[in-house]
Amino acid sequence: MRDEDGSNFYESSGRVFIKSQAEIETMVQAGRLAAECLEWIVKQVQPGMTTQEIDDLQVDFAKKHDVVAAPLHYRGFPRSICTAVNEVICHGIPSSKQVLKEGDIVGIDVTLLVEGFHGDNATTIPVGEVSESAMKLLEATLEAQRLAVEAVKPGNRLGDIGHAIQSHVEPLGYSVVRDFVGHGTGRGFHEAPQVAHFGEPGRGKRLSPGLVFTIEPMINEGAWEMEILDDGWTAVTIDGKLSAQYEHTLAVTKEGVRVLTVQNDEGRWEPPGRWYPPGYEVP
């Protein structure tokens, strides 16, 4: 998330924390619960629902499992979940006045705090039947997220992650949001390093085992520029066109990568929230 002056905020003041195996195992628990929560919410979204009702589902889940919804009161954020409808890129505030309509797309960002560690994941899903162009945006963004995770292995660099995303979506006519990035996470919600979703291969910080961070590309149908609404949080596309996002938390391992916000035991990539476009082939 960004400071009011537009700069990114990191609790660790730039320090990169390498996690121990025990810490990563705790983050596996946090990630799996966050993944279960996201899937549970996704299955209930339908036209006529308000974004506040989505937030209520998150509150109920967190209460049932005796865990904390990390966004609530984080730097003043007033809800337990972030929702992003249509042209909203991220950090949308759920509201009882915002009703989902047939043909909308909605991003749902779930972060749970479990035993002191964060599990952070997000998906964007259609509300009922959506246009072909909207579904193509979702498919391209999801595939870009998968390709970025595939680029994570010891010895590779952060630029390889951004390049995997940028080189997939830009030839399709989409743009990559520059103002918001992935981030390290652990005991801090947002830690170093920053993980840009654009970049050059072979550039940036080298990836090493124990590094834990999110990959969460925000891909726009039109221009990449954005603006913040008067609520101080909601980021929207500058041209009013659609935006989509998919996010996982993952750890670099000696063998490659372990995705933490999944429900399989191996840490294999799976679509966040276990939703994917019709015809999309899940590896």
**pTM summary value:** 0.95
CATH code, 193: 3.90.230.10
Where residue 63 falls (left for φ over 0; alpha for ψ -120 to 50; beta otherwise) is alpha
Report how far residue 239's alpha carbon sits from residue 217's, in angstroms, rounded to the nearest whole number: 19
Does 11 map to a domain? Answer: no
CA distance between the termini of the chain: 31
**Which residue range is the domain that position 139 belongs to?**
21-268
Per-residue pLDDT of the chain (283 residues; tens, 9 = 90+): 343 323 344 455 578 999 999 999 999 999 999 999 999 999 999 999 999 999 999 999 999 999 999 999 999 999 999 999 999 999 999 999 999 999 999 999 999 999 999 999 999 999 999 999 999 999 999 999 999 999 999 999 999 999 999 999 999 999 999 999 999 999 999 999 999 999 999 999 999 999 999 999 999 999 999 999 999 999 999 999 999 999 999 999 999 999 999 999 999 999 999 999 999 999 9
Report how far residue 110's alpha carbon sits from residue 104's, in angstroms, rounded to the nearest whole number: 19
Does 9 map to a domain? Answer: no
Contact criterion met (CB below 8 Å) for 63 and 113: no
Does 1 map to a domain? Answer: no
Q: How many domains does the chain have?
A: 1
Report how far apart, in Å, the C-alpha atoms of 87 and of each of 49, 169, 211, 242 are.
18, 17, 32, 4
Report how far apart, in Å, the C-alpha atoms of 64 and of each of 33, 114, 154 are.
12, 13, 38
Does 244 map to a domain? Answer: yes
Does 241 map to a domain? Answer: yes
